[in-house]
Amino acid sequence: MQTFIHFIRKLSNQIGIISALLLLPLIAVVLYSVIMRYIFNSPPNWSFEVSLFLFGMNITMGGIYCQLKKKHIEVDILKRMVGPAGQTFIRIFSLCAAVFVCSVIFWYGLPWAIESVRILERSMHQTAFDPPIWWFKCFVPLSSGLMGLQALVDLIDEISVLFKKGAQSS
């Protein structure tokens, strides 16, 4: 179990780094289209959608990293008012909610993405570029699934610590 927890954390971290670095090509694409538009007066027809793809992957997959690093912002006023036992309870409650919400997005997103893959859906932005977008839709179940998995791993960790403490004190 520990190796599984370790593996998921490592995976989430790697995904975080990769999706963070997508920012660099995003900057490059925006810069390139600005140069082409304002200097050469011939804006590329693909930059709009490519920057949306890069941005979309960055935010969806970035959610996993936020879950790993506890960066999904919360109001921690209650947490500081209660004792350690209450804090554990709040953390477990939060993680259960995280697992639940992510599972729902995964559960509804999966058939939605599969349908898109089946018809090999293309862009609905009506640009001349008209790229396939079925793969982009897959990021909805993929990211929510992995984000839920990361939350689940945190939950398992939290509960196992609780059991260890229970075993020690009895």
Residues that bind another protein (CB under 8 A): 16-17, 19-21, 23-24, 26-27, 29-31, 33-34, 37-38, 48, 51-52, 55-56, 58-63, 65-66, 69, 71-79, 90, 93-94, 97-98, 100-101, 104-105, 108-109, 112, 125, 136-137, 139-140, 144
In angstroms, what CA-CA distances link 63 with 9, 16, 165?
13, 8, 31
Instruction: Report the nearest approach of another protein to the CB of residue 88 (Å).
Output: 12
Rounded least distance, CB 91 to another protein, Å: 8
- State the nearest-atom distance from the C-beta of 112 to another protein, in Å: 6
**Under DSSP, is residue 163 helix (H, G, I), strand (E, B) or coil?**
helix
The nearest distance, CB 37 to another protein, in angstroms, is 8
Closest to another protein by CB, 44 vs 56, is 56
Which residue's CB is nearer to another protein, number 8 or number 147?
147
DSSP string covering 28-94, please? Answer: HHHHHHHHHHHTSS---SSHHHHHHHHHHHHHHHHHHHHHHTT-S----HHHHHS-HHHHHHHHHHH
Q: For residue 108, give the nearest of 146, 139, 134, 140 by alpha carbon.
A: 140
- Rg of the chain over all Cα atoms, to the nearest angstrom: 21
Toward another protein, which CB reaches closer, 1 or 81?
81
- Taking the least distance from each CB to another protein, the nearer of 10 and 164 is 10
- Phi, psi dihedral angles at 133 (to 5 degrees): -120, 5
Q: Supply the minimum distance, in Å, between the C-beta of residue 82 and another protein.
A: 9
- CA-nearest of 96, 109, 99, 120 to 142 is 109
Nearer Cβ to another protein, position 4 or 115?
115
